[in-house]
Amino acid sequence: MEISALSVPDAWVFTPRQHSDSRGTFLEWFRSDALSEAVGHPLTLSQANHSISRGGTLRGVHYSEVPPSQAKYVTCVRGRVLDCVVDIRTGSPTFGTFAAVVLDDVDRRGLYVAEGLGHAFMALTDDAAVSYLCSTPFTPGREHGVNPLDPDLALPWPEELTPLLSDKDAVAPTLKEAESAGLLPSYRDCQALYATLRALGAPAGGAP
């Protein structure tokens, strides 16, 4: 499995090796050891989600309060999506920047999004199916969003597709509005959480 760090710190792309023959294709779409090697700790699996979206559907930018927030490992099992990781952590050296990755059923990449980062994707095909492994359960009172059409973020959604948003996402605040309202996670709190997770995930007698 090939592991690549994104330009937004604490997000990685995992590209699996695929084995094909006359019967079809086999791959390991998630490996805990590979993720632990990159992130520094295992992904605790608390919830698995699955969405099916028509072309143009835009979900996000979603995040949850830190701590505990929610880390995600995302893959597209059918069709194609454009996935964006947004650094919404106040005080981060890369605050307000994003990294965009195409997830599809050809390369079958997985995307890890650490706690405190914003996450959004647009379906580029009809019936695009996305599966997520999540580190914590969904907690409505701690879930928030930033408007994915915020012009200051300038996320690279394809112009040929009309964005289809939920009512909640359509009225979500801009990044500046969310920052002014004190709704965003801090980089300091996120780094403290990551350090705690690395210490808890270190093997007995080993270095954290």
From the list 50, 119, 132, 187, the catalytic residue is: 132
Instruction: Determine whether 46 is exposed, middle or buried from the number of CB atoms within 10 Å of its CB (0-12, 13-18, 19+).
Output: middle
Contact between 123 and 54 (Cβ < 8 Å):
yes
How many beta carbons lie within 10 A of that of residue 186, not counting itself?
Answer: 15
From the list 62, 63, 112, 119, the catalytic residue is: 62
> Has 119 been annotated as catalytic?
no
Residue 172 to residues 62, 74, 129, 150, 166: CA-CA distances in angstroms?
10, 22, 24, 9, 10
Contact between 135 and 201 (Cβ < 8 Å):
no
Q: Which residues of 154-179 are buried (b: 16+ CB within 10 A; e: fewer)?
A: ebebeeeeeebbeeebeebbebeebb
Contact between 114 and 23 (Cβ < 8 Å):
no
Task: Provide the Cα torsion 88, 121, 17, 21; round to 10°.
Answer: 170
Residue 128 three-state SS: strand
> Has 62 been annotated as catalytic?
yes
Question: Which are the catalytic amino acids?
Answer: 62, 132
